[in-house]
Amino acid sequence: MKSIPYSRQEISDADIAAVADVLRSPFLTQGPAIERFEAEFAALHKSKHAVAVCNATAALHLACLALGVGRGDLVWTSPISFVASANCALYCGADVDFVDIDPVTRNMSVDALAERLAVAERDGRLPKVVVPVDFSGLPCDLEEIRSLADRYGFKIISDSSHAVGATYRGEPIGRYADISVFSFHPVKIVTTGEGGLCLTDDAALADRIKLLRSHGITRNAAQMQCGGEGSWYYEQIDLGFNYRITDIQAALGSSQLTSLDEKFRRRDEIARRYDDKLARLPLKLPVRLNDRQSAHHLYIVEVAHGVSRSDVFAALRADGILVNVHYIPIHLQPYYRARGFAPGDFPASEAYYAGAITIPLFPSLDPSEQDYVVERLTSAIGS
Ligand SMILES: *Cc1c(COP(=O)(O)O)cnc(C)c1O
């Protein structure tokens, strides 16, 4: 029996040709394909600046550094995310805390955020940055988070790794956050093999991310302290990294973007079909909201209280359906427990986690495979 993964990259002949073209060109890295990909991505999201890097983890790290996160600072994120959403703050020497999710959207709860901010203001311990996560591709309550940011003076890094192409109030996501981060790992909406990107409307932030992406080295005379020795001359003016993406990857990204609308349409179609076929089962399904359109990176069902998630999971795996779980709450990871977090800290996240199963959703999932998933899931939950 052929197994069905929960997600799979879609690589076209045009994608392969685009990569081959770069391999025959003079530049494998630091060439023109990167700037082209960045310009295309920024235009697609109606943002001013895009800086592509080697993965989204690096993008989150650089976003934190560009916003000045350092020792003694506090960064808040959602427990229901990949660990990178929190680790980025620790890389900078800052402390991390979490804000519980809204059980309906599974994104950071704006009410919980507002409550925590009021307490934090009294205690003189406000976060410098909040990292909301557009979980599964559904945009967060961006406008509400923006107004809290303006009131309390924190910056927003939106972890939009799941949400390439999602829209919020009729517009591409990105205009509410100071920096939005995207991932191009193969399981995500568009892929570059490994890759990530920072999107921002702030030219100074984009410049700083570019500088740190490549060792903190500049060739721009306006940024130099000495300068003028000759055209070979560069200066290291900060401590950066090699977080560059290659032209090979960027060309794949550009090619992948050309079919984004089609991928988006297929994902939405498959999600609607699940919504329809699973509606009468004792499962909690992803919510649809009128003011935003999910990119449907993941389709997650929650089994009812009292049903064993691990039994349902094992039954589906045995049927060749490679379901997954997104995510183990970050605060329950041993590394974070050692930093003082414990079970019970974020009850809505933990309740979500107890029932969550990610079922297959990717553009080439065909109706017969989808029907098989529905049939086996129905049987596994005993309905
Ligand atoms: C995939 C992912 C990341 C990390 O992306 P990489 O490109 O693999 O570094 C960060 N945050 C979220 C929410 C993700 O899903």
- DSSP assignments along 79-141, one per residue: SSS-THHHHHHHHTT-EEEE-PBPTTT-SBPHHHHHHHHHHHHHHT---SEEE-B-GGG----
β-strand 321-322 against 49-53: which pairing, if any?
unpaired
For residue 162, report the distance from its CA to the centre of ligand 1, in Å. Answer: 8
Q: How far apart are CA 147 and CA 52, in angstroms?
A: 28
In angstroms, the Cα distances linking 16 to 34, 37, 109, 339, 341 are 17, 16, 41, 45, 46
Question: Tell me, what's the pLDDT at 226?
Answer: 86
From the CA atom positions of the chain, what is the Rg in Å? 21
Q: Please give the full DSSP string across 266-309, using - where no structure is assigned.
A: HHHHHHHHHHHHHTTSSEE-----TTEE---S-EEEEEPTTS-H
CA terminus-to-terminus distance, the chain: 24
In 3D, which of 219, 223, 216 has the Cα closest to residue 242? 216
Q: Which residues are within 8 A (CB) of 382 and not within 5 positions of it... i.e. 6 or more apart?
A: 307
For residue 78, the CA-to-ligand 1 centroid distance in Å is 14
CB-defined site of ligand 1, < 6 Å:
55-57, 81-82, 84-85, 133, 159, 161-162, 183, 185, 196
- CA 73, 160, 240, 36 dihedral sign is negative
The reported pLDDT for the residue numbered 53 is: 98
Q: Which residue type is seen at 328? A: I
Distance 114 CA to ligand 1 centre (A): 26
Q: How far is the CA of 159 from the centre of ligand 1 (A)?
A: 8
Please state the atom number of ligand 1 nearest to the C-alpha of residue 195: 7
Best of 82, 91, 298 for a ligand 1 pocket test (most atoms within 8 Å of beta carbon)? 82
Distance 307 CA to ligand 1 centre (A): 30
pLDDT given for residue 383 in this prediction:
75
Q: Could you identify the atom of ligand 1 that is nearest to the CA of residue 84? A: 10
- Distance between alpha carbon 203 and the CA centroid of its chain, in Å? 22
- Ligand 1 centroid–CA 82 distance in Å is 6
Spell out the per-residue pLDDT of the chain, length 383, in tens: 689 999 999 999 999 999 999 999 999 999 999 999 999 999 999 999 999 999 999 999 999 999 999 999 999 999 999 999 999 999 999 999 999 999 999 999 999 999 999 999 999 999 999 999 999 999 999 999 999 999 999 999 999 999 999 999 999 999 999 999 999 999 999 999 999 999 999 999 999 999 999 999 999 888 898 877 888 999 999 999 999 999 999 999 999 999 999 999 999 999 999 999 999 999 999 999 999 999 999 999 999 998 999 999 999 999 999 999 999 999 999 999 999 999 999 999 999 999 999 999 999 999 999 999 999 999 999 87
Cα(145)–Cα(151) distance, rounded to whole angstroms?
Answer: 10
* Distance (Å, whole) CA 360 – CA 247: 31
Atom index in ligand 1 nearest the CA of residue 188 equals 1
User: Are residues 129 and 145 in contact, defined by beta-carbon separation less than 8 angstroms?
Assistant: no
